[in-house]
Chains A and B, each alone.
Chain A
Amino acid sequence: MAPPTAYLASVGTCLPGDPVDNATLAKLVGVDETWAEMFIGNTSRYFAVDLATGQVRHSLADIATTAADRALAEAGLEPGDVDGIVMGTATPDHLMPATVNLVADRLGIDNVPTYQLQSGCAGAVQALDVARTLLLAGRCATVLVIGGDVCAKHLETDFDPGSRTSAELVNYVLFGDGAGAAVLSTEAMGEGIEIRQVLNRLVGLGRAPGQVIDWFGLGDRHSDRTAVFEDYKAIEEAVPVMAGQMFWELLDDLGWGAGAVDFLLPPQLSGRMSDRISAGMPAPDARRVNVVRTVGNNGNALPFLQLAELLRQWDGPGRAIAVAIESSKWIKSGIALERS
């Protein structure tokens, strides 16, 4: 019997509430609109927290459930059809229970293997990797893959606008909340898009983390460690290189030429940086799918938002490559899709 094939059956996404534009950020947290536009390039983002009141309106479980439910509906499946769930997030609602299991409960899924990967920007690809492995091993026939992040915990809403440095304000402009999900199946459901390859490599040996998100408990809650740290300089230097390497590795693996790639889903950092990395990547003729400018950097959700956009644009046969780089302890990852 031939080994099964893994198909991308559907994608669903959820962005909480209404988009928050730069003008609103300017009003609520004192961000300079022009500066935001020029240096970061994001024009809007979504927050699970109401910035004006500080009220948290959605949990990660809420938006991940909605995204997953949409993906299932898109695939024409019901929760009972799912026989495995893999979720990636850097910002779980709790350390325990894992958010993936709360999502399963909300969807009415039980008695299936579930995994939650503690992950950053490469999380979605890592989750897809685990899911695909489950399918190819014959362990599952239908796997739900979820990625999402909410940064409410890191957004202070009750400070005096104008009292913040631009370094602190970057985070408000750059990040956002969201969730995405995909259904993977051994059946050629949906648009018959085959997941040809998923790669995923840690490349952080001896390299200082480019991004740190800390967590605090009773014992160290008064510690003066920074909750969120980013080495933008290192990110700016390393990500384009790693993205290029991952692109070529996928192509070599599949024996594809760069000219045969129809769509390219580049790493999403900020609107401005993604455009730059996107332009600098190989396969100049491949159509670029960038979304971060309008949805904000919502971490584990981003690749799903790119995939959703890809499915909207993609007609007929073709090939697509997606690359995601995680700058925490440095992971490069990518997927190759093909429709014949």
Chain B
Amino acid sequence: MTEREPVAVVGIDCRFPGARDAQEYWSLLMDGRDGTDRVPEQRWDADRYHAVAPHTAQEARPPGRSNTVRGGFIADPDAFDPGFFGIAPREAAAMDPQQRLLLQCAWRAVEDAALAPQDLAGTDTGVFVGVMANEWAFLQLADYDRITARHGLGNGYFMGANRVSYHLDLKGPSLAVDTACSSSLVAVHLAVNALRAGECDHALAAGTNLIMTPVINIFYNQAGLSAPDGRCKPFSASADGIGRAEGVAVLVLRRLSDALADRQPVYAVLKETGINQDGRSNGITAPNRWAQQQLIESVWQRAGVTADDVRFVEAHGTGTLLGDFIEAQALGELTSGRSGGSVALGSVKSNFGHAEGAAGIAGLIKAVLALHHRTVPPSRFADDENPRLDLSGRRLSLLRSPLKLPSGTVHAAVSSFGMGGSNAHAVLASAPRAVHRGRSAAPGVFTVSARTPQRLRANLLAQADALARRPGNQLAQLCWTSNRVKSRLPHRASVAAGDLPTLVAGLRKAAEHADETAREDGGRRGVPSVAFAFTGQGAQHPRMTASWYRSCPAYARHLDEIDQLIAPHTGVSVRDLILDGDAEIQRARLAQPALFAVGYAMAATLTEAGIRPSYVIGHSIGEFAAACAAGALDVADAARLVARRGALMEKLPEDGGMLAVGLAAAEVEPLLAGRARLGVAAVNGPRSTVISGDLGELAAVEAELAGRKVPVRRLTVSHAFHSPLMRPVVEEFRRECADVSDRRPALPVFSTVHGRELSGEETMDADYWARQITEPVRFAEAADALLAGGVTHVVEIGPRAVLTPLLSRLRADGDHAVSLHSAHPGEHAPGHRPQELFGELWCAGLTPDWDLLYADADRVPRRLPPYLFDESFRSWRSGSAPRLVEPSASSVPPGADTTAVPSGADRGESSPSASAGELPDSLAALTRRLVCRVGGHDPAQVHDHDRLHEDLGFDSIRVMELKTRIEDALPRLGPLPIEDLLASLRTVADLVGYLRGQLDDSSVTPVPVTPEGTR
């Protein structure tokens, strides 16, 4: 980091008149469209405050009137997604909409930088907000009796930056900057300095301006600065004053070296910024040519550029005759001696007017996008250039049509001047070339998450639409970015794919099912606990998990390692047999070590990805890999034992078979009486038992059961495993196990030899492994014990889903809330199954380390569309002169904040009110009703598992209020100790539980609650 280190613009989100995001802003600019409109009715009654300006300067302008009914207004400024930020609707309604829009823009800008806002939480990220309008406060705080804590905190002006820092948990500098119209470019300057000084590593530089009242219109009119048509016409012969505009924008800035080191996409580079003041110039509102000139000169000098290097200037360009003249003079002083052609000149104010506090950043974003797209948009009204400015003599050319910039480094400059004389200027350069090629045809899993199912659907479709327009060879990079940026919210969907069209189709399909997704953020079930269930013999098949080997580098590594340990004992590489699709893999001698290798490598891969087991269970041969995962068996020992075990068994005569029968184990026992060469091999479920042994005796049992219409099925096996026929190898295997250290497992092992969890003293010693050969596999009992123990997820580790269906039946019987997954469902699993599995586990609430799925070349961030917020919440306060407030507005009793939701009767204000439903019929309903009353939530959106603080935005003030409400509604309770409430309250359900504890529920007769807005 150096003092003059360039600063990269890495993320952008903005809303301007006629443009809802940066993409639409670019279209507006390139199309040269007019973003102005008539004053929306929601703002104020335009005609009421309109008066045509007098024809001569001598005539007095009518007081309290504006000469225009037009301006640049953003769409839907009243919409906000309070729940997303954990803000109660009533609190949101009491916030300056500038704060609300800033929050959303900040989130989206960070996502646009291919960063997860959650990853910035707790960092020293700075927030610098340029703001000059404080019109909300003017409206909202004019009535002293109605000022509440909420309204005070909602004040846009002094809390704007802090709001963003608070809700995103950013701990660097956080300040609102007001230098009048140059505020947002000054904010950028301060952000650049803070980055260079090392005060922060990321900075959000922002600007905001909302027009809520005609106050400044009236002021401009009185000052003779207001354009009658509400449009700025900079440098045009028709320039006749300012048209006002709105805007909200956030840029994410970083030191260029940091951004490049992270391979982050860079829009453009800020080379230098500077600010100065007119000082005591010719009137406080008059611009000063010398101050402007000196500033530009010094910034260019520090940036190391001259007029020859600068290809275009985004001018302040308000479109007042004097302002345009002074700016042209100041700039012309520097450009008139330029060699080559002239410098392109333009101002975004021509498109929608003067966005005041957001004007500087509007111009800056235009310049940044121009450098990014390598095209400078045209300026409106340029075909009617003001000849008195002599622009061509000053080597300035107003852009009538887009200017395509050459390749290589290109420089641009941006000016923003404040009405009180605070000037700001910036020099930018195009981003350095940095191309990061990914591996072609690498698969990935794309993740999208949202706060609600409805938003999940909208966001899935937005991603699908954007991806459909991307080149096909960035698939893995795009997927990795989605994992990094979009995997933290509770409602989740994932799509694994090997090519882009499949991914796009998958996202669209997922959108259709978005409503069915459950909330998965740990809040529901607490900390997840995972069990690995290792599949037994019979699951093997040629090429099993070959796709894992190909598409998951970590799996390939683990399989290679374990193969090396096994090979000396088998004489062949089981890995090669697997990858070559060799049918030999079906022989016990190879099947057992191969299954062990696959199970071991899969478990190691998942563990490395952070999916760590809290419990293990293994079916027959699967117990060896389970024991390794639990730390009960050394891997090298296991490798030797499985090879030996398989070899011993294969040497036995092939005179046995196995029969699955749909009977309980107890019903099977009588069938075995007198059949010494038969035994129960496995108890897989309450009505699922396997008999094993001599083929002749087995045929007799089969015939008998067929007669009784009991379902039976022969298993395709070479030997009668777990039967008396295995006895001849037991002693030799026991000797083989003799030197195995009897380590205590580090994790709970649910033994299928014992049909229960291994107790404290028990180890998996020689005796255990010897017994295991002939003992039945007591899977059902062991699994039942596992499921009853509170496990949240079971992942079947093996090349086929064998245990998952068995567990599924046991889960249904026991009514356990456990999520079941099969790591590899079988031969027909897709080639990108590891990617799919990670997505599946994540959708079920786990947090895999996604990096494991991608090669380094594919771990490159790419821009994805940012989050689409819920827009159903609306709240606005219309502008009307204080003296014109209708009497009804003051009918709200004093201290209204604690007793009333802003009601429809309150003139000019609207927000959702708690619906007046029927009387609550239980404590839970009453509690929920009161919570909604206090927070202003829609009762339909409040659930028992919602957390009061994080989800519903209850702070200590709100909790106090809730306490009072509860005490009123349930007078029998008496005063509730606030410490109790705070200590025991996490979710709505907790609160109900607490209150229930305080009361005898059955005897409660709640006080009827008056529906809101009717008192």
- The residues of A with any CB-CB pair to B shorter than 8 Å are 14, 17, 57-58, 62-63, 65-66, 68-70, 72-74, 76-78, 80-81, 83, 105-108, 110-112, 141-142
Q: Is B407 part of the binding interface, using a Cβ–Cβ cutoff of 8 Å?
A: yes
Closest to A186 in B: B407
Given A70-B440, A76-B435, A80-B374, CB of A106 within 8 Å of CB of B470: yes
Given A106-B471, A108-B373, A110-B30, CB of A77 within 8 Å of CB of B433: yes
Listed residue (B402, B407, B469, B499) with the most chain A CB atoms within 10 angstroms of its CB: B407
A74 CA to B437 CA, complexed, in Å: 8
Q: Is B472 part of the binding interface, using a Cβ–Cβ cutoff of 8 Å?
A: yes
Residues of chain B in range 82-103 having any CB-CB distance to chain A below 8 Å: none
A288 CA to B437 CA, complexed, in Å: 29
A70 CA to B440 CA, complexed, in Å: 9
Please tell me which one of the listed residues B374, B375, B473 contacts residue A69 in the complex, with CB atoms under 8 A apart: B473
Known: A69-B472, A77-B435, A106-B470. 9 other contacts (CB 8 A): A57-B501, A58-B501, A72-B435, A74-B437, A105-B469, A106-B469, A110-B373, A141-B406, A141-B407
What 1/0 mask marks residues of chain B from 435 to 474 whose CB sits below 8 Å from any chain A CB? 1110010000000000000000000000000000111111
Count, A-B residue pairs, CB within 8 A: 64
Report A-chain residues with C-beta under 8 Å of the C-beta of B405. 80
Q: Taking the nearest CB of chain B, how far is it from the CB of A205, in angstroms?
A: 40
Q: Is the interface of B mostly helix, strand, loop or mixed?
A: loop
Closest to A107 in B: B471
Closest to B431 in A: A78
A142 CA to B372 CA, complexed, in Å: 17
Report A-chain residues with C-beta under 8 Å of the C-beta of B406. 83, 141
- In the A-B complex, list the 8 residue pairs whose CB atoms are closest, starting with the nearest: A69-B471, A80-B374, A66-B472, A81-B407, A73-B437, A65-B471, A111-B375, A111-B404
A111 CA to B232 CA, complexed, in Å: 26
- In the complex, the answer to whether A62 meets B374 with C-beta atoms within 8 Å is no
Q: Taking the nearest CB of chain B, how far is it from the CB of A168, in angstroms?
A: 29
Q: Taking the nearest CB of chain A, how far is it from the CB of B308, in angstroms?
A: 18
Report A-chain residues with C-beta under 8 Å of the C-beta of B375. 110-111
Please tell me which one of the listed residues A57, A62, A76 contacts residue B433 in the complex, with CB atoms under 8 A apart: A76
Q: Taking the nearest CB of chain B, how far is it from the CB of A326, in angstroms?
A: 28
A78 CA to B410 CA, complexed, in Å: 14
Report A-chain residues with C-beta under 8 Å of the C-beta of B469. 105-106
Q: Taking the nearest CB of chain A, how far is it from the CB of B311, in angstroms?
A: 13
Q: Taking the nearest CB of chain A, how far is it from the CB of B577, in angstroms?
A: 25
Q: Taking the nearest CB of chain B, how far is it from the CB of A232, in angstroms?
A: 34
Closest to A12 in B: B473
- In the complex, the answer to whether B473 meets A70 with C-beta atoms within 8 Å is yes
Q: How large is the interface on B (under 10, 10 to 19, 20 to 34, 35 or more residues)?
A: 20 to 34
Please tell me which one of the listed residues A73, A80, A83 contacts residue B372 in the complex, with CB atoms under 8 A apart: A80
- In the complex, the answer to whether A111 meets B372 with C-beta atoms within 8 Å is no
- In the complex, the answer to whether B501 meets A83 with C-beta atoms within 8 Å is no
Given A72-B435, A78-B435, A110-B373, CB of A65 within 8 Å of CB of B404: no
Closest to B377 in A: A111
Report B-chain residues with C-beta under 8 Å of the C-beta of A68. 471
A68 CA to B474 CA, complexed, in Å: 13
Q: Taking the nearest CB of chain B, how far is it from the CB of A133, in angstroms?
A: 19
Report B-chain residues with C-beta under 8 Å of the C-beta of A105. 469
**Can you list 20 residue pairs at the A/B interface with Cβ under 8 Å?**
A58-B501, A65-B472, A69-B471, A69-B473, A69-B474, A70-B440, A72-B435, A73-B437, A76-B433, A78-B435, A80-B407, A81-B407, A81-B433, A83-B407, A105-B469, A107-B471, A110-B30, A110-B373, A112-B404, A141-B407
A142 CA to B405 CA, complexed, in Å: 12
Report A-chain residues with C-beta under 8 Å of the C-beta of B402. 111
Q: Taking the nearest CB of chain B, how far is it from the CB of A299, in angstroms?
A: 20
Report B-chain residues with C-beta under 8 Å of the C-beta of A65. 471-472
Q: Taking the nearest CB of chain B, how far is it from the CB of A67, in angstroms?
A: 9
- In the complex, the answer to whether A81 meets B473 with C-beta atoms within 8 Å is no
A65 CA to B500 CA, complexed, in Å: 12
Given A57-B501, A81-B407, CB of A66 within 8 Å of CB of B437: no
Please tell me which one of the listed residues B374, B433, B435, B473 contacts residue A66 in the complex, with CB atoms under 8 A apart: B473
Closest to A110 in B: B375
Report B-chain residues with C-beta under 8 Å of the C-beta of A81. 374, 407, 433
Report A-chain residues with C-beta under 8 Å of the C-beta of B404. 83, 111-112
Q: Taking the nearest CB of chain B, how far is it from the CB of A125, in angstroms?
A: 25
Closest to B407 in A: A81
Closest to A113 in B: B404
Listed residue (B374, B440, B501) with the most chain A CB atoms within 10 angstroms of its CB: B374
Given A80-B372, A80-B373, A80-B374, CB of A66 within 8 Å of CB of B407: no
A69 CA to B435 CA, complexed, in Å: 11
Q: Taking the nearest CB of chain B, how far is it from the CB of A1, in angstroms?
A: 14
Residues of chain B in range 410-450 having any CB-CB distance to chain A below 8 Å: 430, 433, 435-437, 440
Report A-chain residues with C-beta under 8 Å of the C-beta of B471. 65-66, 68-70, 106-107
Closest to B30 in A: A110
Closest to A142 in B: B407
Closest to B402 in A: A111
Closest to B374 in A: A80
Closest to A69 in B: B471
Closest to B437 in A: A73
Q: Taking the nearest CB of chain B, how far is it from the CB of A301, in angstroms?
A: 15
A80 CA to B369 CA, complexed, in Å: 11
Given A57-B501, A83-B406, A108-B373, CB of A78 within 8 Å of CB of B433: yes
- In the complex, the answer to whether A62 meets B472 with C-beta atoms within 8 Å is yes
A110 CA to B377 CA, complexed, in Å: 12
Report B-chain residues with C-beta under 8 Å of the C-beta of A58. 472, 501
A93 CA to B402 CA, complexed, in Å: 29
Report B-chain residues with C-beta under 8 Å of the C-beta of A80. 372-374, 405, 407, 430
Report A-chain residues with C-beta under 8 Å of the C-beta of B435. 72-73, 76-78
Report B-chain residues with C-beta under 8 Å of the C-beta of A107. 471
Report B-chain residues with C-beta under 8 Å of the C-beta of A141. 406-407
- In the complex, the answer to whether B440 meets A62 with C-beta atoms within 8 Å is no
A297 CA to B474 CA, complexed, in Å: 27
Listed residue (A57, A80, A106, A110) with the most chain B CB atoms within 10 angstroms of its CB: A80
Q: Taking the nearest CB of chain A, how far is it from the CB of B400, in angstroms?
A: 14
A196 CA to B471 CA, complexed, in Å: 31
Report A-chain residues with C-beta under 8 Å of the C-beta of B372. 80
Please tell me which one of the listed residues B373, B407, B436, B501 contacts residue A62 in the complex, with CB atoms under 8 A apart: B501
A235 CA to B373 CA, complexed, in Å: 46
Residues of chain B in range 453-504 having any CB-CB distance to chain A below 8 Å: 469-474, 499, 501
What 1/0 mask marks residues of chain B from 135 to 167 whose CB sits below 8 Å from any chain A CB? 000000000000000000000000000000000
Q: Taking the nearest CB of chain A, how far is it from the CB of B368, in angstroms?
A: 13
A106 CA to B372 CA, complexed, in Å: 16
Report B-chain residues with C-beta under 8 Å of the C-beta of A14. 472-473
Report B-chain residues with C-beta under 8 Å of the C-beta of A110. 30, 373, 375
A96 CA to B373 CA, complexed, in Å: 25
A58 CA to B402 CA, complexed, in Å: 33
Q: Taking the nearest CB of chain B, how far is it from the CB of A338, in angstroms?
A: 24
Closest to A13 in B: B440
Listed residue (B372, B404, B472, B499) with the most chain A CB atoms within 10 angstroms of its CB: B472
What 1/0 mask marks residues of chain B from 664 to 701 whose CB sits below 8 Å from any chain A CB? 00000000000000000000000000000000000000
Closest to B376 in A: A111
Q: Taking the nearest CB of chain B, how far is it from the CB of A84, in angstroms?
A: 10
Report B-chain residues with C-beta under 8 Å of the C-beta of A72. 435
Q: Taking the nearest CB of chain A, how far is it from the CB of B822, in angstroms?
A: 26
Q: Taking the nearest CB of chain A, how far is it from the CB of B475, in angstroms?
A: 10
What 1/0 mask marks residues of chain B from 183 to 214 whose CB sits below 8 Å from any chain A CB? 00000000000000000000000000000000
Q: Taking the nearest CB of chain B, how far is it from the CB of A79, in angstroms?
A: 9
Closest to A81 in B: B407
A81 CA to B374 CA, complexed, in Å: 7
Report A-chain residues with C-beta under 8 Å of the C-beta of B436. 73
Report B-chain residues with C-beta under 8 Å of the C-beta of A106. 469-471
Q: Taking the nearest CB of chain B, how far is it from the CB of A216, in angstroms?
A: 27
Q: Taking the nearest CB of chain A, how far is it from the CB of B341, in angstroms?
A: 15
Report A-chain residues with C-beta under 8 Å of the C-beta of B407. 77, 80-81, 83, 141-142
